[in-house]
Each structure stands twice: as structure tokens, then as C-alpha cells.
Amino acid sequence: MRGEVEIWDGDKLLHKESNLLVDGAGELLADIMTVSPSLSSIEDLATSSITDASNYTIQAISFATDKVAFKNNAHFLDAAKGTLLSSVHLHTTVTAVSDVNQTTSSYTPVVGISSPPNPVLTVLEPDCNVDAKIEDVYVSSTFSGPDQNVNLIPSAHQDSKLATWGTLSSVAASVIGCFPDGSSLGGTNVSAFNGNGYAASDVVFSGNYDSVVNEASSMDVSGFVNMIMSGSPGTTTGYAMSSTLSGLCVSGGHDATNSGTVEYSMILGSGDVGFSNLYGGIYNMGLWTIDMGETLRSGNTPPYSFGPLDNPRKYRLFATKHLTKNLGYINDHSTNAGAFNYSDLTIKWRLHFL
């Protein structure tokens, strides 16, 4: 079994490279071979559903930067920024970054060196917690992220996971990030400053970002994008592939050339790419399966429905892709502001079993 990742901007191929299968892939195979088929004959749905095939296939994709980025960029919080964030209605507005070059309108995030590809890793990037404190309380004590880019900007997500912060929940969400609200809710406004202060005269660029994943409600608060369908177009009468704007889609090859190949694909919207760049960008991606043992031990029983606010699924890392260049990298082009000139990206992740 091998895998490869392609990243497309429209019909332009930006990147193509092999992935890394981690130990979690082997653990999944062990689960498949050792689960008892007799469970399927038990009348109790919570027990018989343990053998459902969906519990042993790819069910999510997620994205990450490196741990240095989580101490800088829009994750950083000082007293002046905290005062400003507390004064605006952050369910629709977020003040993101400072120290932007005043002559530009794009942002190059502060990052370190991502951890090298390692088959024993169980997360995309270890030690990715935000250092920010609000009223001398660490934000990470309320929401300890899963070592990847998470999704707490939408107000419903804040209310679900940061309610204990009360009126400051939107401030906490602002420094955690990392994806804007959907277009139907107005997206998320952002301001970037030159590092001299947070006055109106210090604004370098400002504007609005819309999220594809949050518009479709396909990403949960922890940053996992749900797999929304499966099948092989062309093998079933009337079968139609779901839109890659709706989440992670999967299809299997149905001809001799593509037999044994499974392709996972999704669109990461321009607003998702641009907004996450303010939090450190995207250098890592991962495919995830359901960790059946951990999910059961957490008190959740199958069948497991996906929920963006309260997702019962516990995931196991299956494969990773480490990038040497940030997916959010962009420069100004003539009079076009780089920060608001992003394109939707299509991610295609193929697993070859033959």
C-alpha cells in the first residue's frame, strides 16, 4: 500500500508527492483482522454496529503548522491586543496579527521547523498549544488542542467549547483560531497591524474571509474535516459524486487502470487558506480513521454520527504529508493585495492498494 498527495489550484497542479503511512495504519489493519464477526449478529445496535465497515476506513482529514507558529502570529496575545479584542464583537470580527510590513498587504507567518516525518507519531505536530493567558489563566487550560489547526472562530463553536470564558470567549477563540465563519453568517473580518500599535492608523490591511468548511459544517471544533460519502462513480446506476465543497469525498477506481486505488478529495476554500495563514499557515496534513477502542472507552457507542460541535469520534492517525512550503504562501501581485487574492485549493489524496 502506498499513497500520494496532489494539490491543485483550478486546473494547475501545484504539488505532487508521496505520503507517509504511520503506525496507526498498521493498528487499523490489526483491528480489522481481530474484531469478532459474531458481534454483527447481536440485536443490540450499539454492539452490532462495531463491525460496520465505516469504522475501519478513512473518516477525516486535518491540517497543521508547527509549534513555533502557535506561540506567534494571530495566536499571540499581549495586553494591548487583549484590550482591543475585548472592545469589539468578535462573533463577526477578529483582530489577527501585528508586525506586518507596512508596505505590503500579505502576511508571512512566523514559523519554526516542523517535526520531521515520523511513523510513530499519533498527532500531526506535537506540543502545539497556545501560550496566551487571559486574566492570568492559560487559554489552553480551557481548550487543549489536538496538536493541529483547530476551529473555534465561529460563534457556535465558541459557545460550545469556550462558554466558561463568558464575555471573553471570543477573545480566547481569536487567539486559538484558525478558520473563519461561513459566508451565510457573514464570514470573519480581520485586521493586520504594522507593529507600532493597534490604532486605526496602524492598520496595514483589513478585510473579510469566508470559510468553505464552516459553511458546509464539515469541520469540527478540533479541526477534523468529515468524510461525507463513499462509492465508485460509474459502478451504480444513478450514482453521483458529492461535492468536494461539502467535505472530504472518497471514490474508488472502477476500471482496469484505476482498480485498487481510492481517492480522497476536498476543496479547502480561499478564505480557509488565507485566514489560517494568519495563524501560521499549513505545513502538515493527515488522514484519520476512527479509533474504535478509544471511542468506546470514552463512553461513545456506534453508529458514530459526525457533529461539528460535539463530535463523539476519537481519531487515529493513518497517513501524513509534510510540506516544505506553506500552503498559505502568497505575495502581492501588482495592485492585487496578496492577503485577499487566494484561490480555492483542491486536495487529492490517493491510496494505492495494488
pLDDT recorded at residue 102: 47
Handedness of CA 152, 70, 98, 192 (dihedral sign): negative
CA atoms within 13 Å, Cβ hemisphere of 173: 33
Q: Can you tell me which residue has the cell 498527532?
A: 123
The pLDDT of 144-162, averaged and rounded, is: 91
pLDDT value for 338: 86
Phi, psi of 291, deg, nearest 5:
-85, 95
| Rounded distance between C-alpha atoms, residue 343 and residue 320, angstroms | 23
In three-state secondary structure terms, 289 is strand
Evaluate whether 228 touches 247 at the Cβ level (below 8 Å): yes
Q: Is residue 171 within 8 Å of 76, Cβ to Cβ? A: no
pLDDT in tens, 4-32: 999 999 999 999 999 999 999 999 999 99
End-to-end CA distance of the chain: 7
Instruction: Give the model's confidence band at 107: pLDDT under 50 very low, under 70 low, under 90 confident, else very high.
Output: confident
The pLDDT of residue 1 is 85
Is 12 or 335 the better-scoring residue by pLDDT? 12
Q: What percent of the chain has pLDDT over 90?
A: 52
What is d(CA 210, CA 269) in angstroms, rounded to the nearest whole number? 8
The predicted pLDDT at position 167 comes to 83
Model confidence, pTM: 0.91
Q: Which is it for strands 93-97 and 188-193: parallel, antiparallel or unpaired?
A: parallel
- Based on C-alpha coordinates, what's the Rg of the chain? 21
Share of the chain above pLDDT 70, in %: 89
Phi and psi (nearest 5°) for 89? -85, 95
CA distances from 225 to 19, 165, 217, 247, 260 (A): 18, 26, 9, 6, 24
pLDDT at 170: 87
Please state whether 211 falls in left (phi above 0), alpha (psi between -120 and 50) or beta: beta
Confidence band of 234 (pLDDT split at 50, 70, 90)? low
Residue 33 CA to residue 241 CA, distance in Å, equals 30
Across 279-294, average pLDDT: 95
